[in-house]
Structure 1
Amino acid sequence: MNTHLPAALLAALFLAAPTAGGAEPGPTPPGGAPDRTTVPAAPITPTVPTAPAATSVRLTVTGPAPATTALSPDGAGPAAPSARTVTLHCDPAGGDHPRAEAACADLDATQGRVERDSATACTLLYDPVEVSAEGVWHGRPVSFARQYGNTCELNARTGAVFAF
């Protein structure tokens, strides 16, 4: 029995198998072994850094309420609090927000969170202000709604974001 037969079969299978890089062996020259050179893969193009996703947030402030809740002499009730809405764009700062650069800086400082901690002391006057923010900050959705006791509390907790 020939003991070299299993090794010869193994070598033949190894030589006949495609290379790990996926390239097929080259043509077999007459009377020679196949050409085992591999064809280089397509050149790798470097990834170009992309700009951060844009920021666009619609901001609404409702309030504060009218200074008095008493009826007027003609029996009409006080006017409802007015709502103001602006759009804030960042990267570059813009939109119709009057302090867009400062508002974008505040959002960037809190990684897109509208509210932040504050040590500012405000009076306990209750004059409610409702705010909401809907949109996208650097490609991440933003959805925020809250009622603050007064404008001082609003400004202390949200900085320039709702300063319009």
Structure 2
Amino acid sequence: MNPHTPAALLAALLLTAPMIGGSASDAGPVLPAPTTALRLTVTGPAPATTALSPDAAAVSAPAARSVTLHCDPAAGDHPRADVACADLDASQGRVDRDSDTACILLYDPVEVRAEGFWHGRSVSFARQYGNTCELNARTGAIFAF
């Protein structure tokens, strides 16, 4: 390689430049440990009836509930954070998993969403379940709030 090429000059500069803020044994910046931080939202189930109320007003849509979940250590405003973190770790970060639980065939839909990170890996999950039994069977304690 020609000693006057840009690559050769750059290599020479890097080898002779003084270290700034460290020694030659430094591997680089210290990165934070991978984190688990999720925003969990549950919408539903729907009101028990779709009939108009006595004053002829339509029944309002179910309100959404949201919590935050942090793991390692378990924290946030999730009421069962330790169990929810254990469920996520057992499934290697999968929110939904197979279940052998038999649920009643009652259609009372529940929508859920999970956004954030599990051990540093991006999570974006949204799904509708037929009822809360199906939700709990397939997601464990993750949406149990």
TM class by smaller structure: 0.7 to 0.9
- Show the counterpart of 1:68: 49
Q: Percent identity?
A: 76
How much has 1:120 moved relative to structure 2?
A: 0.2
The separation in 2 between residues aligned to 1:105 and 1:75, in whole angstroms, is 47
| Structure 2: gaps of 5 or more residues | 1-22
TM-score by length of 2: 0.78
- Show the counterpart of 1:4: none
How much has 1:68 moved relative to structure 2?
A: 0.3
Aligned length: 122
| Structure 1: gaps of 5 or more residues | 1-41
SS in 1 for 2:61: coil
- Show the counterpart of 1:98: 79
How much has 1:142 moved relative to structure 2?
A: 0.3
- Select which of 124, 128, 131 maps to 2:105: 124
- Show the counterpart of 1:19: none
- Listed one character per residue, the Cα deviations across residues 91-134 of structure 1 (whole Å, up to 9, x for unaligned) are 11000000000000001011111011100000000000000000
Please state if 1:113 is matched with 2:133: no
Letter in 2 for 1:158: T
- Select which of 141, 145, 150 maps to 2:131: 150
- Select which of 55, 76, 100 maps to 2:36: 55
How much has 1:160 moved relative to structure 2?
A: 0.3
Letter in 2 for 1:128: P
Higher relative contact order (CA 8 A, sep 6+): 2
TM-score by length of 1: 0.69
The separation in 2 between residues aligned to 1:43 and 1:141, in whole angstroms, is 33
The separation in 1 between residues aligned to 2:90 and 2:125, in whole angstroms, is 17
How much has 1:74 moved relative to structure 2?
A: 1.3
- Show the counterpart of 1:86: 67
Q: Which segments of structure 1 move beyond 3 Å, counting only runs of 4 or more?
A: 42-46
SS in 2 for 1:79: coil
Larger gyration radius, structure 1 or structure 2 = 1
Letter in 1 for 2:80: R
